């Protein structure tokens, strides 16, 4: 029942020093409210994901990596500061900040995770599932 795009998604940072292509399916968007996501994004993260082998870095001149937790690194542009990737150490998928995709993305949204860590100035009322933490199945979904 997948309705996700299957080929040729493209995206990049605000300044263009990081550009990428995804030659494969993208996961539906997951919103993460954890502290690391809040601080690196300035709000909360909206992330899709692809299989690592489907990601092609067209321009990685600006790409920098920051270890934000014991389980993952975050890729960002060292020139303009855009938050772009979330790379878990297990290597099963590559998280991609959905806002960095060129539009139209064709994506829909799936759920909120780490809502126990959400800040106090907003409410989550879009009707999507809200998970207090996460469920460890951030890739295996949607028929992809």
Chain positions contacting Zn ion, by CB under 5 A: 13, 15, 17, 32, 34, 37, 62, 77, 79-80
Q: How many CB atoms lie within 10 A of CB 99?
A: 18
Cα-based angle 21, 110, 2 (whole degrees, multiple of 5): 65
Phi/psi of residue 103, each to 5°?
-95, 155
Please, which residue, 19 or 24, has the CB nearer to Zn ion?
19
Rounded least distance, CB 140 to Zn ion, Å: 18
Please, which residue, 37 or 97, has the CB nearer to Zn ion?
37
Rounded least distance, CB 108 to Zn ion, Å: 20
Q: Which residue matches tokens 């990081």?
A: 18
Please, which residue, 7 or 39, has the CB nearer to Zn ion?
39
Rounded least distance, CB 88 to Zn ion, Å: 11
Contact 60, 76 (CB under 8 A): no
Rounded least distance, CB 1 to Zn ion, Å: 27
Please, which residue, 24 or 49, has the CB nearer to Zn ion?
49
Closest CA to 100 of 32, 10, 2: 10
Per the structure block, which two tokens stand in for 34?
Answer: 């954890």
């Amino acid at each position: 029942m997948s309705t996700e795009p299957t080929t040729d998604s493209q995206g990049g940072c605000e300044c263009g020093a990081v550009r990428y292509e995804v030659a494969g399916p993208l996961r539906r968007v997951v919103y993460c409210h954890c502290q690391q996501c809040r601080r690196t994004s300035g709000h909360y993260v909206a992330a899709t994901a692809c299989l690592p082998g489907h990601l092609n870095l067209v321009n990685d001149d600006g790409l920098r990596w920051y270890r934000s937790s014991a389980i993952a690194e975050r890729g960002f542009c060292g020139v303009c500061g855009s938050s772009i990737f979330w790379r878990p150490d297990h290597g099963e998928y590559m998280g991609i900040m959905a806002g960095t995709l060129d539009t139209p993305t064709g994506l829909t949204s799936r759920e909120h995770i780490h809502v126990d860590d959400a800040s106090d100035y907003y409410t989550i009322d879009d009707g999507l599932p809200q998970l207090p933490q996460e469920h460890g199945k951030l890739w295996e979904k949607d028929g992809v």
